[in-house]
Amino acid sequence: MKPLHKFVVPLFATLAGILFAAAHLPRAGASPQQTYDLVIQGGRVLDPESGLDAVRSIGISGGTIAALSASAAGGLSGRTTIDARGMMVAPGFIDLHAHGQDLENNRYQAMDGVTTALELEVGVGDIDAFYSGREGKALIHFGATIGHIPARMLLMGMPGAFPAVGDAAHRPLTPEELKRLEEMVDRGLQRGAIGLGFGINYTPGASRWEILQLFRVAARHRAPVHVHMRYMGELEPQSVLNALAEVITAAHVSGAPLHVVHINSSGLGAAPQALEVIAAARERGLDITTECYPWTAAMTDIKSALFDEGWREAMGIGYGDLQWAATGERLTAESFARYRQTGGMVIIYLMKPEIIDALVAHPITMIASDGVLRAGKGHPRGAGTFARVLGRYVREKKSLTWMDAVRKMSLMPAQRLEGRVPAMKNKGRIRVGADADLVVFDPERVVDRATYENPAQFSAGIRHVLVGGVAVVREGALVEGVAPGRAIRAPMAKESARNQANIR
């Protein structure tokens, strides 16, 4: 019989070889012989769905993630390779509240790591026109709700989509008009609108019954309702808690999913209490979510109903807290009255930094920009919201982890929509089969550069952005001549499609 060591030594050598080989094999769907369209090599991958936080290489083919490799050397072969060593790789950011829906805004959004920008608060009045006007032309993915404001304006024969003015803002509807409005919203949802958008603060003439009836229309389609609430701040009886009670009641009575937009600028000093109410409603089983943006100033059109008599008391500010976006000037009573006649965007300084910090860090808040730029003018949130969270709230303040921040900006928004839009189940994740909407950023440099005085500035540290596997940002610069953005749209009702064909 041979000595024991003559069996043991070869056995351990064999096992060591097997373990070494296994450690260097590509993982999760990878094929050593396959050549992928693109490989992102050696980045620190953050997947908020699985909790993966480790160095990986990613193989991309046909616009989807085809492989993940744990090999330190990459282990994947691609026709094109991105060297992501020292970088972080995350799912592309999903902005649920992006008013900027054109190429100008898409460029700043992409340079902020955004791969999907959706108009879900104000929404649009004509769903088909919105989608057909962007197909094949968009830098990043796009989508919209059917909007209460633009639908109400169409109902009353008024041009434009925002802000609601005159009767569209202030007059209650007749029963016949409400029925027609319900039909308009229903048709928009049949045509694939992501949900129903409300700006109740902009339409004070809309009764609570009108709001509830439209919630019921949304509920029939299992469509989320994105709501800018009726009131803001702490002043009773027109407080944010009163407004929150209205929409929570409507959601409970109707069964519609509810998303409360910008809890920061609606809540103001009472935002922590409003967030506590939302958290308690969630614990009791209500399908309710919310968002905030990391800035202490808001922005809207000075002609809107938000500036009806009593606005200074409701917001707790004066004329000097308003800044005309086009020129940067602070307003007076005289200039306020003058600009109120013409309309235009005004920045509103009204929030406390400590409240914003607490809201951004809270585990149930998503991040959404509420952003728009027009000819380079506007609010810095249109260009720097997501990099601001990464640079200031993760790296500098350390009030969020990298994973927490990525979850708030990718997975949580995707999950909010996936019940209505099944395609969202493949966004906000890094796994085999998910869409290759990805951002590669430098954790040491990522930060916003947009300011209130000069909002049209690209964020720093966003190195690569892929939309459906196509580079829209490469080595920190925009890629020209590409338009990989695709429609984010709910399935369309067959009856509606037949009716539409008959109408045409």
pLDDT digits (tens, 9 = 90+) for 479-503: 999 999 999 999 998 744 444 433 3
With H, G, I as helix, E, B as strand and everything else as coil, classify residue 421.
coil
Question: How many whole angstroms separate alpha carbon 211 and alpha carbon 354?
Answer: 33
Topology agreement, domain 4-86 and domain 93-296+351-478: no
CATH class of 4-86: mainly beta
What pairing do the DSSP bridges indicate for beta strands 438-441 and 462-467?
antiparallel
For 84-151, strand residue ranges (E) read 88-91, 93-95, 114-124, 141-147
Question: How many whole angstroms separate alpha carbon 72 and alpha carbon 55?
Answer: 8
Question: How many whole angstroms separate alpha carbon 369 and alpha carbon 371?
Answer: 5
Within the chain, how many helices (H) and strands (E) appear? 17, 22
pLDDT of the residue at 29: 56
Question: How many whole angstroms separate alpha carbon 198 and alpha carbon 210?
Answer: 11
Is pTM beyond 0.85? Reply is yes
For 62-99, strand residue ranges (E) read 64-69, 77-83, 88-91, 93-95
Beta bridge partners of 371: 98
403-448 pLDDT, tens digit per residue, is: 999 999 999 999 999 999 999 999 999 999 999 999 999 999 999 9
Domain ranges of the chain: 4-86, 93-296+351-478
Q: How far is CA 383 from CA 72, 441, 451, in A?
A: 35, 16, 9
Question: Tens of pLDDT along the chain (504 residues)?
Answer: 434 344 333 433 333 343 333 333 344 555 557 999 999 999 999 999 999 999 999 999 999 999 999 876 668 999 999 999 999 999 999 999 999 999 999 999 999 999 999 999 999 999 999 999 999 999 999 999 999 999 999 999 988 779 999 999 999 999 999 999 999 999 999 999 999 999 999 999 999 999 999 999 999 999 999 999 999 999 999 999 999 999 999 999 999 999 999 999 999 999 999 999 999 999 999 999 999 999 999 999 999 999 999 999 999 999 999 999 999 999 999 999 999 999 999 999 999 999 999 999 999 999 999 999 999 999 999 999 999 999 999 999 999 999 999 999 999 999 999 999 999 999 999 999 999 999 999 999 999 999 999 999 999 999 999 999 999 999 999 999 999 999 999 999 874 444 443 333
Structure tokens at 43: 């980045």
* R_g of the chain, CA atoms, integer Å: 25
CATH topology of domain 93-296+351-478: TIM Barrel (3.20.20)
Spatial CA neighbour of 214 closest among 224, 204, 205: 224
CA 457 to chain centre: 20
CA angle (434, 387, 54) in 5-degree steps: 45
Question: How many whole angstroms separate alpha carbon 304 and alpha carbon 96?
Answer: 22
